Amino acid sequence: LAKTTQPISMDSYEGQEVNITCSHNNIATNDYITWYQQFPSQGPRFIIQGYKTKVTNEVASLFIPADRKSSTLSLPRVSLSDTAVYYCLAMDPTGGFKTIFGAGTRLFVKA
């Protein structure tokens, strides 16, 4: 299981684009990059997942460079409700489902 490194916290303002970068230098060939969002007293919620290049869904984009040693979660035009903890994970979905979470990035969106 690849270890991931993220910033501990980030601040932003409403309407801005937020980019959270995750480092995963020892990512394995079969590992997927997955991001979760967690609000206080709730379980983490799946945001987006990708293997390489760019993935976009209705809430975020995920950019993964060719070497796959890092990835960037992009949240367009954040609002106050995007204040949460964001977790980056790199794991092999076919090698069992033992998912390891790090400490995550605490995003605080200000008005």
Partner 1 sequence: DAGVTQSPTHLIKTRGQQVTLRCSPKSGHDTVSWYQQALGQGPQFIFQYYEEEERQRGNFPDRFSGHQFPNYSSELNVNALLLGDSALYLCASSSFGDRGEKLFFGSGTQLSVL
Residues contributing to the site for partner 1 (CB under 8 A): 32, 34, 36, 41-46, 49, 85, 87, 91, 93-94, 96-104
Q: Which residues pair with 11 in a beta bridge?
A: 108
Shorter beta-carbon distance to partner 1: residue 29 or 96? 96
- For residue 21, give Cα distances in angstroms to 12, 18, 29, 46, 96: 15, 10, 20, 17, 26
Structural tokens at position 37: 């969002």
Residue corresponding to tokens 């979470």:
101
Least Cβ distance, residue 107 to partner 1 (angstroms):
15
Which of residues 69 and 106 has its CB atom nearest to partner 1 in the complex?
A: 106
Of 14, 11, 16, 19, which Cα lies nearest the Cα of 35?
Answer: 19
Q: CB 56 → partner 1: shortest distance, Å?
A: 16
CB of 98 to partner 1, least distance (A): 5
Q: Which is closer to partner 1, CB of 42 or CB of 81?
A: 42
The residue type found at 104 is G
Q: Report, in Å, the least distance between residue 45 CB and partner 1.
A: 7
